[in-house]
């Protein structure tokens, strides 16, 4: 990619992130907050790919202030998810529901009060990154994809249901989020089943959300046994799905060097 293309892609995502951020401040719509966080994740994924080039190694450092805003938005999202799962699994704990609702209201209030500062942080980081992005070679992008796929495959050779599974999901999402950016660099070298990767990371994401909520539920003074049991059963099913999907990863993801196939 040429340098101006890197900047164009950055600006495109940044514009969407700011739009969703501002829409959430106006409406308190959780979907707008979710989309803001998705765009920040995509920005980080893009910068992680760009930072694979030696001349771009400081990009993630410039992005750190935005990650702090992202974390604050995550606190809001967590309280919302807890309330959603509370209803889905019929926790029937009024104290917990009131606590999470109170927490959600307070966090949103604090977030909105600091919204101007958050926007300044976002704009400053955008400007800094625009002026520090350099060109990324196709070979660098190809190497990036090969390394991440090898790391995911290595994990599923001996999978564990712990934080490493969550970290593996992050690697998969790097590949998914950068798909359009990387298409020209990898299309003649690699064949990748992106639909398979997306289904796999979705299952891992559901598993992670369930685990976070299980931790919250288990800390209650009077946990609702039926709700806990339903959540644990659902999580066990997700673990089974993940293991089945992750087995024989190399074959399912369809990774192959096309040149070697034609020999």
217-224 LR contacts (CB < 8 Å, sep 24+): 217/91, 217/96, 220/93, 220/95, 220/96, 221/95, 222/93, 223/93, 224/90, 224/91, 224/92, 224/93
For the residues 37-49, what does the mean pLDDT come to?
96
Residue 19 confidence (pLDDT) above 80 = yes
Q: Which of 68-72, 162-166, 178-182, 256-260 shows the lowest mean pLDDT across its residues?
A: 256-260
| Per-residue pLDDT reduced to its tens digit, 96-147 | 889 899 999 999 999 999 999 999 999 999 999 999 999 999 999 999 999 9
Q: What pLDDT sits at residue 261?
A: 41
pTM score, two decimals?
0.88
Spans of all domains in the chain: 1-136, 137-263
| Per-residue pLDDT reduced to its tens digit, 196-238 | 999 999 999 999 988 887 887 777 766 667 777 888 888 899 9
């Amino acid at each position: 990619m040429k340098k101006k293309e890197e900047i164009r892609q950055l600006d495109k995502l940044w514009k969407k992130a700011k739009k969703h951020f501002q829409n959430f401040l106006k409406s308190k719509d959780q979907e707008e907050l979710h989309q803001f966080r998705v765009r920040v994740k995509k920005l980080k994924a893009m910068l992680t790919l760009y930072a694979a080039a030696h001349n771009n190694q400081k990009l993630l450092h410039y992005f750190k202030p935005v990650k702090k805003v992202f974390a604050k938005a995550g606190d809001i999202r967590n309280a919302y998810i807890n309330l959603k799962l509370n209803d889905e699994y019929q926790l029937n704990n009024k104290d917990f529901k009131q606590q999470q609702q109170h927490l959600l209201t307070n966090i949103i209030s604090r977030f909105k009060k600091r919204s101007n500062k958050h926007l300044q942080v976002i704009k400053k980081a955008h400007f800094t990154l625009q002026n520090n992005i350099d060109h990324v070679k196709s070979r660098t992008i190809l190497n990036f994809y090969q390394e991440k796929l090898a790391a995911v495959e290595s994990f599923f050779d001996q999978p564990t249901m712990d934080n490493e599974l969550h970290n593996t999901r992050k690697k998969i999402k790097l590949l998914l989020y950068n798909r359009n950016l990387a298409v020209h660099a990898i299309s003649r070298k690699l064949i990748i089943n992106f639909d398979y990767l997306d289904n796999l990371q979705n299952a891992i994401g559901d598993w992670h959300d369930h685990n976070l909520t299980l931790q919250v539920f288990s800390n209650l003074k009077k946990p609702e046994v039926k709700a806990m049991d339903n959540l644990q059963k659902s999580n066990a099913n997700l673990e089974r799905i993940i293991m089945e999907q992750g087995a024989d990863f190399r074959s399912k993801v369809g990774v192959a060097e096309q040149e070697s196939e034609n020999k």
